[in-house]
Structure 1
């Protein structure tokens, strides 16, 4: 066996190992996302809606208190802040729909990046049907990134396009070596990205809360149920407080 054939065998073996590692990392990441999403839904169903109701009452109380002293600018500001918090809680709990974010600004830098990508990857530059299909798929991703105002994504797509193993044509040992080397670099990059995404997911407060709740349940506890009871008690107290303030306002008007 020629030295280059031996090297190709070694690299293909490394590629196979990396492909298994990528599959494992991807599975870990997607499982983590799914479990966190399920917990988030469960959390909002049990306590999120109660928090939204409590924050709504707090805002109503703040506005009622501000109404007792209309000239008190600090009370007005506190009421506005409480109302914003109530709106946020309602959106998070799914009680009200979130407002769509404003469209991303299309800056001159993004336009330049798009032009560079189009020159490099446009399907019209393809010389074969397979190459045209590859370029078409990548340019579709570029178009999405451009619409989102995401210059970083466009630049990343250009780099990946230049390093794409599928751009290598030929089945001889030399072509297979280049293709395998590029594929290995691609796999290593994806492993690093997946590991970073996993770390970000685990660093979220929601994930930490999920772990705490899971561990408590394994010990026979019901932390979300206990929290729900506490919030319901606070809701009852706030309702009484709000009614008291309203009665004071009526009494003041009748004086």
Structure 2
């Protein structure tokens, strides 16, 4: 076996190992995302809505109290802050529509990145149907990034396009070597990105809350049920307080 063939065999073995590692990491990441999303839904359906109701009542109390003290700037500010918190809680609990984000700014730098990508990978520069399809797919990603105003994503796609193993034509040992080296580099980038995202997911406060709740439930506890009872009690108290302040305003 020639030295280059030996090296190809070694690299293909490394490639197979990396492929397994990437699949495992991406499966772990997607599982984390799904399980966290499921917990978030359950959390907001049980206690999130109650937090929103409690904040709504607090905001109403603050606004009615501010109405009794129109010249009190601090009372007016507290009412405004309470209303903003109530709005945020309602959005998080799915009880109100979030305002859509503002459209991205199309900066000269974003335009320049798009032009660079288009010149490099435009489908019209393809010489085969397979290459045209590859370019169409990646240009579609460039278009999405441009619409989002994501210059960094376009720059990343440019780099990936330049190192894409599928750009290598031929099946001789030399071509296979280059293609395998590029594929290994590509997988290492994907593995690193997946590991970073896993670290970010597990560091998120929502994931930590999920772990805490899961551990408590495993020991026979019911933290969300306990919290639900506490919130209902607080809501009842705030409803009474609101009614008393309203009566005070009427009698005043």
The TM-score with structure 1 as length reference comes to 0.98
**Counterpart Cα distance in 2 of 1:191 and 1:137:** 22
Residue 170 of structure 1 aligns to a residue whose secondary structure is coil
User: Which residue matches 2:124?
Assistant: 124
Question: What runs of 5+ residues in structure 1 fail to find an aligned partner?
Answer: none
Shift of residue 91 of structure 1? 0.4
**Counterpart Cα distance in 2 of 1:104 and 1:217:** 44
User: Which residue matches 1:51?
Assistant: 51
Shift of residue 74 of structure 1? 1.1
Note the aligned Cα RMSD (angstroms).
0.5
Q: Do structure 1's residue 164 and structure 2's residue 164 form an aligned pair?
A: yes
User: Which residue matches 2:226?
Assistant: 226
User: Which residue matches 2:215?
Assistant: 215
User: Which residue matches 1:11?
Assistant: 11
Q: How does 1:29-108 map to 2 (within 5 A)?
A: 29-108=29-108
**Counterpart Cα distance in 2 of 1:64 and 1:98:** 25
Residue 97 of structure 1 aligns to a residue whose secondary structure is coil
Residue 243 of structure 1 aligns to a residue whose secondary structure is helix
**Counterpart Cα distance in 1 of 2:198 and 2:103:** 28
Q: How does 1:133-144 map to 2 (within 5 A)?
A: 133-144=133-144
> What do residues 126-171 of structure 1 show as CA deviations (whole Å, max 9, x unaligned)?
1111111100110000000000000000000000000000000000
Return structure 1 stretches of 4+ with deviation > 4 angstroms: none
User: Which residue matches 2:149?
Assistant: 149
Q: How many residues align?
A: 252
The TM-score with structure 2 as length reference comes to 0.99
Residue 103 of structure 1 aligns to a residue whose secondary structure is coil
